[in-house]
Structure 1
Amino acid sequence: MASTPGQVLHSLREAAGMSLAALATRTHFSKAAIGHVETGVRSLSPELAAACDRALGTAPLLTVLIALTGEDQAMRRRALLTTLTAAAGVAGLAGAVAVAELIRAGLVDAAGEVEDWGQVVADYSRRLVTDPSPAYGAALLGQVMLAKQEIVSRGATPDLLRAAGLLTQLYGLWRGNQDDVSGAHGWYRTAVLLADRSGDTASQVFVRARTASRGIFEGYTLWETSAKAGEALAISDRPSLGALEAHSALVHVHALAEDLPAGRRALGGMLDVAERLPDTGPDGPLARTVSFQHYLEARIGEPAAADQTWQTAEPILRPVPVWWREAQVYYGLALVRRGDVADGIGYGLAAAQALPTPVRTVGIAVADLLRAVPTRYASTDLDELRRHAAPGGGPWVAWGT
């Protein structure tokens, strides 16, 4: 069992699969400073503890741990270290993050406050498309575990069930982006059950529709995706993010079936919903719709349309790295389709290399681009790009209609 804050930091960093250099970059502290703390040469300062907690997704674990000093806190410190060691031993970084979330929830309760689950869901939704790292996944799982504990201890209220369903959906999406497709599908099913139990129509629509929009890249046939999108729209009672996602799933279907008029009609459905929803920032309905418009035109539209949508989409999507890089790959596909093969491959490679964490949807886009490259074309960039393609082919290869 780790017995000092430095040893705990070392264990957490290794559990996150993060090198000293990577943690130094994320915290803006030097490798030497962090290394000296881990080996016991220096004490863990409050500033470094807070920075590492943020980088690892374990706030406020390290901060609380270094506050438990002195003989009067020795028992609490040992209890925390024992709990942390047990949780990390079973679930690695996710276990440590779960302990951190319990600590944070205890601090909130002690202050007489109630967790704002709506804000928690919004924060993690945004992080999914801006920083889908292993630390994010561990932190998100910690939130799911905390929501479960709240349901057990306080009762299955509609708000808690709704939050648990949406967080579970997000965790499934994250698992899918780690190429754990079967695991993702299990989390999607749980999300639907929780949303249905909540009685909240908006969340019921959203979890079904988001599953359909992602599922086209995770084993669903075009027919299955259309059916799931239709199911979501059938229970939708007003414009919502779920309705937006259902239409986006249909854009996927028609883009993969190479039916441009039907794809544009589905995109019109997205635009109609987006115009009636509030703008929630860089990853809001407008940006989501723009990303799908570009995807559709870049994949099967005319070159001029692909150029125009890329010029529109690029500045809008830039603050959302996952969507931006996926769109960049698809513009590379558009270039390859018109014969600018080297430039297209260059666009795709630059996008894939720019993401610090591999993301399946971007890998699928890379695989899509590679299919358009002429058989006899060869280059070192092409060889490198192949390394970034998602394994297992794609929906346009083997999953039929």
Structure 2
Amino acid sequence: MTLGRLIKELRTAHSWSQSRLASELSKSAPGYAMTREYVSRWECDRVRPGSFWLRHLAAVLEVPLALLENELKRRTFFTDVAALAIAPIVASDLIEAGFAARLGRLGPAPDAWEEKLTSYGADYMSMGAADIQRSLAGELVVIQQQLEEPRLWAVAARLMTLYAKTFPGSDGSKALVWYRMAVEAADRSGDEESRVWVRGRAAIALGYEGASLPVANLLAKQAQEISKAPSLGLLNAVMGRAHVAAIGGDRGKALELAEEGRRIFDLVGSHQQTSDYAVPNWRMNVFRSLLFARLGDERKAQEAQESAFAELPDALPRFATHLEMHRGLMMARAGDGPGGIAYAQAALEKLPPEKHSLTLRMLMEEIKG
């Protein structure tokens, strides 16, 4: 994706015209006048904004500066995958794995990759971010050597989505770049279900975290445009948009989307209980618990929490911590800021540090206000 196209997508996510973006930039940089014509030239990639305007674009479009800067420096798709994967584990191990797969054709067969996906979906629910990040990095280096087959683009897209979730959503140089590459990989697969799921999963992750909300909204809308057929991807997209609306103060829209999500869930909710690729009843209620806490609806938040606790598997204590922290958020929103913070902090401290997730840390920051 070019920088111009990214600017256009982010502008569209705000429902702004080119003139409106120019006006917002002019207000952000007193003494400097921006015009619609110049914004158009950026979006058509006729001119690239310099560092001064990149900073102001990041501010008014509500995205990390690193996201815009990285688009300027972006290399080919394969090179980005290798470069971003090197950090978590020893580079020599990654290089060896990649060449072994390429030269010896030692990479798993498609069916074996599907089995790996199932395992990672379960592992994500209980492992710490650092542990799964290291493991996924090696898998991504291997699978990129096998992408002649469209089916494996879909596998790669789902692995990338999980990998993105091991970084904070507010870190545009990592999480958002990986979400965008996952979207590109899903599109190359030609598999509609994967295209919807990747966008929806990114949307609910960012919406739940309260991070990069214009991007979350954009990806959710793209998922809905690709297919309106009920699916877990569509469910994630709708609930992601509900959280974006709640954080943005649009209570009516948030409630409307929550109800739409409930209708979709009734059709496609999962029986499988412990996979990141599943949305069973307890997990749907985790989504709803935080949503209603953000909306200040104590009754509905408590109902969702009680329903989630009733079915939450004992093997997933991290999600019990999520629910307790939602209660802390409710206390803070009701006016007891210190009490809410203390309650949430106590819940977080009960969970072993190796079970902590980046999402929990971001939730703690939201409660602190």
TM bucket, shorter chain = 0.5 to 0.7
Higher relative contact order (CA 8 A, sep 6+): 2
Q: Distance in 1 between matches of 2:96 and 2:272?
A: 29
| Residues 108-147 of structure 1: pairs in structure 2 closer than 5 A | 115-147=111-143
Change (3 A) 1:131 1:92: closer
Match of 1:285 in 2: 279
TM alignment of 1:1-400, pairs within 5 A: 93-95=89-91, 98=94, 115-151=111-147, 156-176=148-168, 180-216=171-207, 217=209, 219-222=211-214, 224-277=215-268, 278-283=270-275, 284-286=278-280, 287-317=282-312, 319-338=315-334, 343-353=339-349, 354-357=351-354, 358-371=356-369
Deviation (angstroms), 1:329? 1.0
- The alpha-carbon distance between structure 1 residues 320 and 302, as it changes in their structure 2 partners (threshold 3 A), is same
Mapped partners of 2:153, 2:124: distance in 1: 21
User: How far apart are residue 141 of structure 1 and its match?
Assistant: 1.0
Give the secondary-structure state (helix, strand or coil) at the position aligned to 1:175. coil
More displaced, 272-281 or 290-299?
272-281
Tell me how far apart the structure 1 counterparts of residues 319 and 115 of structure 2 sit (CA, whole Å).
22
Contact 1:335–1:341 (Cα < 8 Å) also in 2? yes
Amino acid at match of 1:162: A
**TM-score (ref. length: structure 1):** 0.60
Taking structure 1 as reference, are residues 119 and 350 closer, same or farther at Cα in structure 2, changes over 3 Å only? farther
- Identity across matched positions, percent: 25
2:38 aligned residue: none
In the TM superposition, what is the alpha-carbon distance from 1:132 to its structure 2 partner? 2.7
Q: Please, which runs of 5 or more residues in structure 1 have no aligned partner?
A: 1-89, 372-401
* Deviation, structure 1 residue 365: 1.4
The one-letter amino acid of 2:149's match is T
3-state DSSP of counterpart to 1:176: coil
Deviation at 1:342, TM superposition (A): 5.7
Residue 275 of structure 1 aligns with an amino acid whose one-letter code is D
Q: Which structure has the larger Rg over C-alpha atoms?
A: 1
CA RMSD after TM alignment: 3.3
Match of residue 80 from structure 2: none
- Letter of the aligned partner of 2:164 in structure 1? G
Distance 1:285 1:266 in 2: 17
SS of corresponding position for 1:239: coil
Query: Which residue number in structure 1 is paired with residue 64 of structure 2?
Result: none
Per-residue CA deviation, residues 349-380 of structure 1 (Å, 9 max, x unaligned), is 12322152442321221122112xxxxxxxxx
Mean CA deviation greater in 360-369 or 199-208: 360-369
For 1:215 and 1:197, how far apart are their aligned partners in 2? 23
C-alpha displacement of 1:316: 3.1
Q: For 2:319 and 2:96, locate their aligned partners in 1 and report how far apart those are by CA, in whole Å.
A: 30
Contact 1:94 1:142 in 2 (8 A): no
Amino acid at match of 2:159: L
Whole-Å Cα distance in 2 between the matches of residues 237 and 339 of structure 1?
A: 40
Match of 1:28 in 2: none
Aligned match of 2:19: none
Count of matched residue positions in the alignment of Structure 1 and Structure 2: 275
Structure 2: runs of 5 or more not aligned: 1-85
